[in-house]
Amino acid sequence: MIGVRLAVLTNIPTPYRSVFFDRLAFELQRNKGELLVVYCARTEWNRHWKLSDTDLRHPYWFAPGMSGRVGDYTLHVNAGVLRRLRQFRPTAVVVGGAWNMPASMAVAFLGRRVGLGKPILWSEGHADAVLNASGPIAWLRRLVLRRFEVFAVPNARGERYITGEVGPGRTFMRLPNVVDDEFYTPAPPEMREALRRQKGLNADETVFVQVAQLEERKGVLELLQAFARLREQHVSARMVLIGTGRLASRIMTEYARLLNDGSLRMTGNLPAEGVREWLRAADVFVLASHRDPNPLSVIEAALTGCPLILSAWVGNALELLDPHRNGWLVENNTPSELNKAMENAVLSASELVGMGQHSRDIAMRDFGLGRVVEDFVRHISTTRLTSPTPTRHSPHA
C-alpha cells in the first residue's frame, strides 16, 4: 500500500522521539504518505530537556488542554483530539506515551466509531516493569489494552506481556526504541585520549559510567556497594553517575569518602553533548536497574562503543548484550554479582575497545534509525488497519 497517512498521539516531544518522527515523516513522504504527530503537552514535571518548535522537523499539532501532577504521573487532559485526527483522515493512528491519558482512551474507545480505523498501541512495557500488576489500575489497563487489535512492541518480551494482558489473536509489529545513531558514535583514539585528559582520567584506570535517574529502581545503591568493594580490592577504577534523583543526597552522605578521593563523580543532568562526551571517555557502561522497560541510555552507550554491564531486568538487555563478547549480564543484581561483573571488566584497553565495537555493531544492526523506520513503514503499509467509515444517515433522507 502506498500513501499511508499516519497519525501519532503521544504525550510530549522528546529528543529521541523527535529524531524518530523526523525520519518517519521523511520515509512516509518518500512513499507518498504523510505524518501528523499530536502532542498532549510541551513538557512534564520530571523531564529536563528543552525543545523549541524549531527542533521539531516533522508535522505536529499541540492539542489544547491542561496538565496536572498526580504523584509521579503527569495527567494531560486535552480537547479536540478526535476532531483533529478525523480531519487528517489517517490510515492508522498510533497511540504512544501512555495508555492512561484521556486522549489515548478516547482513541481506543471512540476512534473507530468516528472512522479512524484500527488504532495501534505503541507499548514499551513488559511484565517485569509493571508497577501495578493487580488491583483497579491493572483492571483498567487491561480494559483499555483490549480495545486495541494491533500493537507495536520493541521485542519479544513486550509481545509476551501484551498477549498475557489481552489474550491471543492480536497483530504485532516490532518497533525498537531508537536514538540518533549519527550523533552517538565512538570517538577516534586521539579525541578519546583528549577527552580523558580533559576530565582528569588516568590512562590506566577503568572508568564505569551510568546514565540514569538516581532512584532505587535503577539499582544505584547496589551498584555503589559493588564499586566500593572494587575500590577496597585496590583496583584502579572510577565511577561516574550521570543524572539526578531522590537518592542524590543519600549518596553524597554515605559515599563521601569516594567522592572526596575522586573515584566517584556525580555530574547531575547533562545535555546530550555532555552525555556523549562521558560515554566516549568511558571504558564500560553499567545499568543495574531492578525495573526498566527499554532504556535508551543503553542504546546510546552501545552506539558510542561501550562494553556493557546490564542487569537482567533491563528490558533491552537481551537484544543489546552478547555475554562475554560485548559485556556481562547480571542475573540477580546483587552487590556481589555486580562486583564480579566489574572485576571481569577490568581488562586491557584493546580488549575493551574490541568489545565496544561489537556493541556498536549490534546496535546498528538492530536499532539503527534508518532500518527501524523503513521496517515500521513497511509493516504499516502491509498490515490491514482500516475499517469502513461508519455510515451516517441524514434525517432528511
- The 10s digit of each residue's pLDDT in 335-364 is 999 999 999 999 999 999 999 999 999 999
pTM of the shown model: 0.87
Give the residue-averaged pLDDT of 260-289: 97
Q: Has residue 307 been placed in a domain?
A: yes
Q: Has residue 111 been placed in a domain?
A: yes
Beta strands in 79-170 (DSSP E): 92-95, 119-122, 150-153
Do 20 and 136 lie in one domain? The reply is: yes
Q: In the chain, what is the straight-line distance between the N-terminal and C-terminal CA atoms, in Å? A: 35
The count of structural domains within the chain is 2
Do 53 and 199 lie in one domain? The reply is: no
- What is the C-alpha to C-alpha distance for residues 191 and 198, in angstroms, rounded to an integer? 10
Residue with cell 552522605: 253
Do 113 and 154 lie in one domain? The reply is: yes
Do 284 and 345 lie in one domain? The reply is: yes
Do 128 and 147 lie in one domain? The reply is: yes
Give the residue-averaged pLDDT of 19-34: 95
Q: Has residue 396 been placed in a domain?
A: no
- The whole-chain average pLDDT of the chain stands at 91
Contact status, residue 121 vs residue 8, Cβ threshold 8 Å? no
Closest-CA residue to 103 (of 58, 41, 48):
41
Share of the chain above pLDDT 90, in %: 77
Question: 136-145 and 102-110 helices cross at what angle (nearest 10)?
Answer: 50
pLDDT of residue 46: 76
Alpha-carbon dihedral 221, 227, 229, 233, rounded to 10 degrees: 180
173-215 pLDDT, tens digit each: 999 999 999 999 999 999 999 999 999 999 999 999 999 999 9
Do 215 and 131 lie in one domain? The reply is: no
pLDDT of residue 385: 64
Do 331 and 231 lie in one domain? The reply is: yes
CA distances, 271 to each of 211, 223, 257, 328 (Å): 12, 24, 28, 28
Helices (H), 311-394: 317-320, 335-344, 349-367, 369-382
Do 171 and 259 lie in one domain? The reply is: no
pLDDT of residue 178: 93
**276 C-beta neighbours (distance < 10 Å), count:** 20
Residue 337 sits in which domain range?
A: 189-367
Q: Has residue 389 been placed in a domain?
A: no
pLDDT of residue 135: 78
Position 390 pLDDT exceeds 80: no
Q: Has residue 142 been placed in a domain?
A: yes
- What is the C-alpha to C-alpha distance for residues 85 and 134, in angstroms, rounded to an integer? 33
Q: How many helices (H) and strands (E) does the chain have?
A: 15, 15
Q: Has residue 12 been placed in a domain?
A: yes
- What is the C-alpha to C-alpha distance for residues 60 and 392, in angstroms, rounded to an integer? 29
Q: Has residue 387 been placed in a domain?
A: no
Position 389 pLDDT exceeds 70: no
Q: Estimate to the nearest angstrom the gap between the alpha carbon of 377 and the chain centroid.
A: 20
Do 127 and 274 lie in one domain? The reply is: no
Contact status, residue 109 vs residue 147, Cβ threshold 8 Å? yes
What CATH number should be reported for the domain holding residue 301? 3.40.50.2000
Do 205 and 130 lie in one domain? The reply is: no
Do 151 and 241 lie in one domain? The reply is: no
Q: Has residue 338 been placed in a domain?
A: yes
Do 166 and 213 lie in one domain? The reply is: no
- What is the C-alpha to C-alpha distance for residues 214 and 241, in angstroms, rounded to an integer? 8
Residues 103, 104, 110, 113, CA torsion sign = positive
Position 152 pLDDT exceeds 90: yes
